[in-house]
Amino acid sequence: MADARLLLRLRCAADAGQLPLLRDRIRQALAGQGEAPPEAVDSLVLAVNEACMNIIQHAYGPWQNGDILLELFRDDGGVTVRITDFADPVDWSRCRPRDLEDIRPGGLGLHLINELMDEVAFLGHPGGRGNALQMKKKWHRSQGGAA
């Protein structure tokens, strides 16, 4: 991300009540990026919401308070979002999407993130603590406009 430009840096409590703020701030940051197709912005916002909800429910859980750091970068052809938490490190190899044939509420966040984003990478444990996830959404253009 050598040529990336920071569009948004927001640190907030890892609380579901903060998710509307995160979604709104992402949309505001991307509003000035005229080439951002609305469908791509919607996909990005949904993927970030799912990732943050996973942090709230699984990284911190119901008995631990903490923060989420959201960084949004504009780069050539799209945006990159980095989400960092400060919870105990998670073994990413154990994080798997639930089988879609297993019909029950919840558990589809990882599947949605992988389907909605063009690139998804777990960056490890910054400073030996916490977890960092990086996702990229490219602005794809078709002949008729945004795709």
pLDDT band at residue 143 under the 50/70/90 scheme: very low
pLDDT tens profile 101-132? 655 445 566 778 989 999 999 887 767 778 99
Domain range 5-146, CATH class: alpha beta
Q: What is d(CA 66, CA 59) in angstroms, rounded to the nearest whole number?
A: 10
Q: What are phi and psi of 131, to 5 degrees?
A: -145, 145
pLDDT (average), residues 79-99: 76
Q: What is d(CA 96, CA 144) in angstroms, rounded to the nearest whole number?
A: 36
Q: In this structure, is the dihedral angle defined by the CA atoms of residues 99, 102, 103 and 108, taken in order, positive or negative?
A: negative
pTM flag (> 0.85) = no
**Amino acid at the residue 76:** D
User: 53: which strand partners?
Assistant: none
Token pair belonging to 85 = 């938490």
Token pair belonging to 16 = 């579901």
Q: What is d(CA 50, CA 68) in angstroms, rounded to the nearest whole number?
A: 13
pLDDT band at residue 36 under the 50/70/90 scheme: confident
Nearest-CA neighbor of 49 among 1, 125, 116?
Answer: 116
Report pLDDT for 59.
Answer: 86
Q: Where are the alpha helices (DSSP H) in the chain?
A: 19-31, 38-54, 109-116
Query: For the chain, what are the domain ranges?
Result: 5-146
